[in-house]
Amino acid sequence: MTSQKSMNSILSTNDALSVSSSIELETPHVVSVMFQVDTMNEGAAHGGHSSVPLNYQLAPIQRTLTLQDIFGKPVDYSTLSQLCRIRLYKSLTNGGQDFVESGTKSDEPSNFACVTLNHTGITFTFNEYQVAPYSEGSPKISFTYGELRPFFSPSSPVFQAVEQSISTPLSTNKIELDQEEQQALQDFNKRIGE
């Protein structure tokens, strides 16, 4: 009750705040939840929306998972950025190249922090204005676990959860990369010596 009272004192009588959540993945070892925060401030032209992920390892230890934890090794943000840009260019109708380039800079890991896991792969959500104008909302792009296989270490808790709990393990996961995406991953594999 105290939280609600303090929240009401922050918001004017015509402001609105709504928080919802959806469980994207739940296994005995890993859970992934996306929180959707919607706001409307008095006098604003339109509401605001943001996505906040929570990826959590349940076993063998309990901890919040970062993208590096998910992959089980340091993230090659340069290749990830390139793959995300390719998918975004294909999916956005009103997005300009400047938006996408700025919102997927490889030297800013926070650009890729809004990530959730599901039974088939990984979804990156980009909040409003990050990679496109407001009219595009919060763009999402997804990759199957197989498509991102080179990013994973076998010691990754997600790799292990996928192999143990999900019907399509990484070793057999369908890969649907186009030619440009395949080239980006081939270049990545050459750099890491696989």
pLDDT tens digits, residue range 25-46?
A: 998 889 999 999 988 887 777 7
Is pLDDT of 148 > 50? yes
How confident is the model at residue 104, as a pLDDT? 94
Confidence label for 6 from pLDDT (cuts 50, 70 and 90): very low
How confident is the model at residue 178, as a pLDDT? 73
Confirm if 63 and 57 have CB atoms less than 8 A apart: yes
The strand pair at 140-144 and 48-57 is best described as unpaired
Q: Is residue 80 in some structural domain?
A: yes
Over residues 70-97, the mean pLDDT reads 88
Q: Is residue 183 in some structural domain?
A: yes
Q: Which helix (DSSP H) or strand (DSSP E) does residue 67 occupy?
A: helix 67-71
Confidence label for 70 from pLDDT (cuts 50, 70 and 90): very high
The number of domains in the chain is: 1
Q: Is residue 107 in some structural domain?
A: yes
Q: Is residue 50 in some structural domain?
A: no
Mean pLDDT of the chain: 83
Is pLDDT of 157 > 70? yes
The CATH number assigned to the domain holding 98 equals 3.90.640.20
Confirm if 144 and 173 have CB atoms less than 8 A apart: yes
Full residue range of the structural domain in which residue 186 is found: 68-192
How confident is the model at residue 122, as a pLDDT? 96
Q: Lowest mean pLDDT: which of 32-36, 38-42, 49-53, 72-76?
A: 38-42
Per-residue pLDDT of 111-127, as tens digits, reads 999 999 998 899 999 99
Confirm if 32 and 25 have CB atoms less than 8 A apart: yes
pLDDT over 70 percentage in the chain: 81
Q: Is residue 18 in some structural domain?
A: no
Q: Is residue 166 in some structural domain?
A: yes
Confirm if 114 and 127 have CB atoms less than 8 A apart: yes
Confirm if 121 and 147 have CB atoms less than 8 A apart: yes
Confirm if 34 and 52 have CB atoms less than 8 A apart: yes
Q: Is residue 97 in some structural domain?
A: yes
